[in-house]
Chains A and B, each alone.
Chain A
Amino acid sequence: MFSFILKRVLASIPTLLVVYTVTFAIAHLTPGSPWDSASANRPMEPAAKAALDAKYNLDAPLHIQYVGYLWGAVQGDLGPSFRDPTQSVTDIVKKFLPTSLALGSMAIALAIVMGLLLGVLAALTRSRALETAILFFCTFCVSLPTYIITAVLIVTLGVGLGLVPTFGWKGLFSTSAIVPVVSLALAPMAAIARYCRNCVLEVMHKDFVRSARAKGVKRGRIIAVHILRNAIIPVVTVAGSYASSVLVGSFFVESIAGVPGFGRYFVLAVSARDYPVIIATTLVYAVIVVLCNLLVDIAHFIIDPRTREDVR
């Protein structure tokens, strides 16, 4: 188990390097300099610009900047923020990421629970109408962009019924969390429900389920032990692939609902050409994606003994 985890961690290093390289290239390919917006209104002395460049090491050749930033990042120093000189990028990550992580974990937990329930219900129900209704609801949720869901929820629950605040954030366990959590959870929930249903349908006709039924195992136990245990494997994969994007926060949901999260900060950084923030945000995203994939692999390892043979 330990060597398996170690191998996966080592294998993720090239991935992170590719992400860093691509982001670095993109950030520096963007024309213009970070000081453009500041100098648009008040022209800046070339000497002042050069001094700024020198301060932030922007006058060094690109390959020196590439290695220098990477060296700092490995040690936990993500550099200064250009847009907001009073705080370092590490501070910004510490300040904004926890909100998004809390919001995202809540959303993904809700998605997994509701998705499993809906999926199993759709697969096992005798009512054709209920099955169709659930499936349609799932297609509906997968199709709708999160910003529409957020906006519609705010208009109906917030403006129409007055149940939730229309903007702002007062912590995870307040009414202000309802809209962002639900809008983040719907799409993964629908995807999980669909996969879960397909798997349950597939497993239901397997020999071991028939044997269990033949020897008189109770229906509830068959569902819980024989069917769900097998159906949950792809669900873990889907949940993992959604988890990374949900955990780091959605720009749309956060900016519409007014959540001071990581996703919203990224959009601000892109428009301000704040290189260290852009690179750092992307790296944090990539690390979370890699971690989620690792968790999925470990979960597979625990749930499904068959995958253990693949591990060399």
Chain B
Amino acid sequence: MTIVPSIQRRGVSLLPTSIRSKPGLAVAIAFLVLIVVVAASASFLPYDAYRQDLLHRNSPPSWNHILGTDELGRDMLARLAIGARVSLVVAVTSTVAAVLIGIAVGAIAGYKRGWIDSVCMRFVDSMYAFPDTLFAILIAGVVKGQLSQSSTDFFSPITALYKMSGGLFGVFLTLSFTSWLVCARIVRAEVIILRSAEYVAAARLAGASDLFVMRRHILPNCLPVIIVAATFVVPSAILLEAGLSFLGVGVDPPTPSWGAMIASGVRSMQSYPHLLITPAIAVGLTLLSINVVGDALREHFDPSFRRGGEAS
């Protein structure tokens, strides 16, 4: 455990070397690929995730239903696959949105400094006083309440989108609103360092506009920290989505979601443990794999980063 290997590793391309030295990383990536494939092929599975079969409720795993059926006789594998799609789509889209908001706020605050910086960062700091689950539940309540009403004003296209997506859009909004804070902080810190770089000063002297400097010099160099920030946001988005659906303020039934499946599994865990175990393993392994991959990415982009980032 010396510093030398990590320095050497930084120069070489990431994946091949790291995978060879870390079998866990390879397994994690393989599992994530499997989840994506299952999610993408959910429509081709022999069973419909919505078709109820009341004669075969709560049946344990068998040849007909590999993972058994749930309390309404719906195939667990099909529901898990659709649930994977729900979780991944929500996690990825809301991460992208949250990262974009974070970049915008962090870059402006870090580049302009002065009162804009103070206002933005005071606000971000204050928002950290909300535990994220709590804030997400609050926001989800508002979003769900606002969007599930049939209104005729300018909200109507959003409302339509919300209803069409089975509540998915509400979760997306909630997660985007709640998870941009980390990214804003990380990007701001990096922008402050980069703006005093000599090539930025040179570009300014040559007459480059703020926007040009930002687009050409600062943001591309922020990419590593942005990726690092995203590695924090993706797992927490999956976790929060499952948590919100678990509490019933997430994806609307009958759309399957991992969180809702775990919630109904918890209700009957004493009599039908397979209803709990399968979605729990799916969520657990997915989060574990994402964290393993995230750790590798963080280590690659900045070995010293882990302390500053996670503590925020």
- Chain A positions within 8 Å of B, measured between CB atoms, are 14-16, 18-19, 22-23, 26-27, 29-32, 136, 139-140, 142-145, 147-148, 151-152, 154-155, 159, 166, 191, 194-195, 198-199, 201, 205, 234, 237-238, 241, 244-245, 248, 250-252, 256, 266-267, 270-271, 278, 281-282, 285-286, 289-290
Contact = CB atoms under 8 A, between A and B. Distances in A.
Contacts of A155: 269-270, 273, 276
Contact of B145 (A30, A151, A194): A30
Interface string B279-294: 0100110011011100
A128 B142 CA distance: 50
Interface stretch (B68-76, B123-131, B189-197, B216-224): B123-131
A281 B149 CA distance: 27
Given A147-B243, A282-B138, A159 B307 contact: no
Contact of B1 (A18, A199, A201, A241): A201
A180 B3 CA distance: 40
A45 B24 CA distance: 65
A289 B131 contact: yes
Contact of B266 (A147, A198, A271): A147
B24 A145 contact: no
B126 A15 contact: yes
Interface in B98-144: 122-123, 125-131, 133-134, 137-139, 141-142
Q: Which of B146, B290, B310 has the most CB of A within 10 A?
A: B310
B239 interface: yes
Contacts of B248: 271
Contacts of B247: 251, 267
Given A145-B243, A237-B311, A31 B149 contact: yes
B138 A152 contact: no
Contact of A241 (B138, B276, B311): B311
B246 interface: yes
A145 B145 contact: no
The 6 closest A-B pairs by CB, nearest first: A18-B126, A143-B287, A143-B288, A245-B131, A286-B129, A15-B126
A139 B123 CA distance: 31
Nearest to A241: B311
Contact of A23 (B125, B133, B138, B283): B138
A194 B291 CA distance: 13
Given A145-B243, A198-B307, A151 B131 contact: no
Contact of B265 (A32, A151, A245): A151
B292 A19 contact: no
B311 A234 contact: yes
Q: Which of B131, B145, B239, B246 has the most CB of A within 10 A?
A: B131
Contacts of B126: 14-15, 18-19, 22
Given A191-B310, A198-B307, A26 B139 contact: yes
Contacts of A32: 145
A244 B134 CA distance: 12
Interface of B is mostly: helix
Q: Which of B24, B141, B248 has the most CB of A within 10 A?
A: B141
Interface of B: 1-3, 24, 122-123, 125-131, 133-134, 137-139, 141-142, 145-146, 149, 235, 239, 242-243, 246-249, 262, 265-266, 269-270, 273, 276, 280, 283-284, 287-288, 290-292, 295, 306-307, 310-311
A241 B130 CA distance: 11
A250 B291 CA distance: 22
B280 A289 contact: no
Given A145-B287, A251-B247, A267-B247, 12 more contacts: A15-B126, A18-B123, A144-B287, A147-B246, A151-B262, A151-B266, A155-B270, A159-B273, A194-B306, A205-B2, A248-B131, A250-B133
Q: Which of A15, A145, A256 has the most CB of B within 10 A?
A: A145
A270 B269 contact: no
B83 to A, nearest CB: 14
Nearest to B307: A234
A110 to B, nearest CB: 20
A286 B125 CA distance: 12
